[in-house]
C-alpha cells in the first residue's frame, strides 16, 4: 500500500481545472433547480392556500409522494426506471429535474404556509378596494406572504444545493462525483474530502448568511426597528 502524504495544495493545483468545471456543474444544476423550485412553489403554494379545486388535490398528492419517499429512490426512478417506458434522460437533465421536483414540493409547502399566514382581512380589504382576485394576490398576499415564507424557502434552496451531491449515483460530473473519482485514481482521499468539505460549507454558509441579510432588508415596515 502506498504511503500517502497529505498535500492539499498539490491536489488542488493538479486538479483545479476539473474541480472548477465540477463546481460550475454543481452551480448550474443548483441554479436551474432553485429557479424551478421557486416557480413550482409559488404557483402550487398559491393554489393550495387559495384552495383552488383539482390543482390543490393534485399538489397535495405530489407533495406527499415527494416528502415520503427518499430522494435517491426518485433519482433512480428518473434515471433507471424511465428508460423502461422509452424515456431516456441524460445525467444533466436527471440532475436538475430530480432536485427541482424535490425542492418544488417542499417549497410549495413553504409558500402555502406564508400565504395562509396573511390575515384574511388584508385580502378582503384589497378586494373591497376593487382589485381583482389576481391583482389582490400580486399586490397584497404575495408581498406579505412571500416575505413570511422567505427564510423557510431559502432553507429549501440550501437543501437543493446539498442534494446535488447525490448525482454521484448517476455519475453526473458535479463536485462530489468529480472529487471522489479523482481520489479513486490518485488515492488522495483526504485531500478530495477536504476540498468537498470546504466548498460545500462555503456555499451553504454563505447562503444561510443571506437569509439574515434578506430578512432584515425585506422586513415588513412595521417590523423594522
Partner 1 sequence: MPDWAGPVARYILEEGLPVTLRISAVAVVGSAVIGIVLGTLLTIEFVLSRAIIRLYVEVFRGLPILVTVFMVYFGLPAINNALEFDAITATSIALILWGSAQVAEATRGAVQSIPREQHEAAAALGFGWVGRHRSVILPQAFRRLLPPFVSLLVNIIQNSTLAAVIGGIELLQAAKSQTERLTFFPPAGIGEIHAFEILAFVALIFFLISFPLTRLAAYLEKRMVV
The DSSP letter of residue 51 is: T
One residue of 10, 20, 39, 67 binding partner 1 per CB under 8 A? 67
Q: Label residue 141 exposed, middle or buried (CB < 10 Å: 0-12, 13-18, 19+).
A: buried
73-132 binders of partner 1 (CB under 8 A): 73-74, 76-77, 80-85
Piece of the chain touching partner 1 by CB under 8 A; list 68-76, 120-128, 135-143, 214-222: 68-76
Rounded Cα distance, 197 and 184, in Å: 17
Question: Could you tell me the three cell numbers for 23?
Answer: 463546481
Under the criterion CB under 8 A, does residue 56 sit at the interface with partner 1?
A: no
Under the criterion CB under 8 A, does residue 72 sit at the interface with partner 1?
A: yes
| Contact in structure between 96 and 150 (CB atoms under 8 Å) | no
One residue of 144, 190, 211, 214 binding partner 1 per CB under 8 A? 190
One residue of 168, 181, 186, 214 binding partner 1 per CB under 8 A? 168
Q: How far is the CB of 136 from partner 1 (least distance, A)?
A: 27
| Contact in structure between 113 and 132 (CB atoms under 8 Å) | no
How many beta carbons lie within 10 A of that of residue 112, not counting itself?
24
Q: How far is the CB of 27 from partner 1 (least distance, A)?
A: 14
Q: Label residue 25 exposed, middle or buried (CB < 10 Å: 0-12, 13-18, 19+).
A: buried
One residue of 56, 152, 165, 181 binding partner 1 per CB under 8 A? 165
Piece of the chain touching partner 1 by CB under 8 A; list 30-38, 45-53, 118-126, 197-205: 197-205
8-47 binders of partner 1 (CB under 8 A): none
199-218 binders of partner 1 (CB under 8 A): 200-201, 204-205, 208
Rounded Cα distance, 169 and 129, in Å: 54
For 80-86, the CB contacts below 8 A with 24+ separation are none
One residue of 169, 211, 214, 215 binding partner 1 per CB under 8 A? 169
How many beta carbons lie within 10 A of that of residue 56, not counting itself?
16
How many beta carbons lie within 10 A of that of residue 215, not counting itself?
14
Q: How far is the CB of 42 from partner 1 (least distance, A)?
A: 22
Per CB under 8 A, residues contacting partner 1 are 4, 64-65, 67-74, 76-77, 80-85, 162-163, 165-166, 168-169, 176, 180, 183, 189-190, 193, 196-197, 200-201, 204-205, 208
Amino acid at each position: 500500500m502506498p504511503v500517502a502524504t497529505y498535500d492539499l495544495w498539490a491536489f488542488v493545483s493538479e486538479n483545479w481545472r476539473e474541480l472548477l468545471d465540477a463546481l460550475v456543474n454543481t452551480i448550474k444544476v443548483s441554479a436551474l433547480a432553485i429557479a424551478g423550485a421557486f416557480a413550482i412553489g409559488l404557483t402550487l403554494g398559491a393554489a393550495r392556500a387559495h384552495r383552488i379545486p383539482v390543482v390543490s388535490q393534485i399538489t397535495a398528492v405530489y407533495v406527499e409522494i415527494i416528502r415520503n419517499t427518499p430522494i435517491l429512490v426518485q433519482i433512480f426512478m428518473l434515471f433507471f426506471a424511465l428508460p423502461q417506458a422509452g424515456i431516456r434522460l441524460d445525467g444533466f437533465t436527471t440532475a436538475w429535474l430530480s432536485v427541482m421536483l424535490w425542492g418544488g414540493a417542499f417549497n410549495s409547502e413553504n409558500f402555502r404556509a406564508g400565504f395562509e399566514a396573511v390575515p384574511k382581512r388584508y385580502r378582503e380589504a384589497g378586494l373591497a378596494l376593487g382589485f381583482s382576485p389576481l391583482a389582490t394576490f400580486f399586490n397584497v398576499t404575495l408581498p406579505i406572504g412571500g416575505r413570511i415564507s422567505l427564510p423557510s424557502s431559502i432553507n429549501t434552496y440550501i437543501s437543493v444545493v446539498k442534494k446535488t451531491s447525490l448525482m454521484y449515483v448517476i455519475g453526473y460530473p458535479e463536485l462530489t462525483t468529480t472529487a471522489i473519482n479523482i481520489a479513486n485514481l490518485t488515492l488522495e482521499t483526504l485531500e478530495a474530502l477536504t476540498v468537498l468539505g470546504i466548498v460545500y460549507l462555503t456555499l451553504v454558509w454563505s447562503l444561510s448568511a443571506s437569509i439574515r441579510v434578506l430578512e432584515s432588508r425585506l422586513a415588513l415596515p412595521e417590523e423594522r426597528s
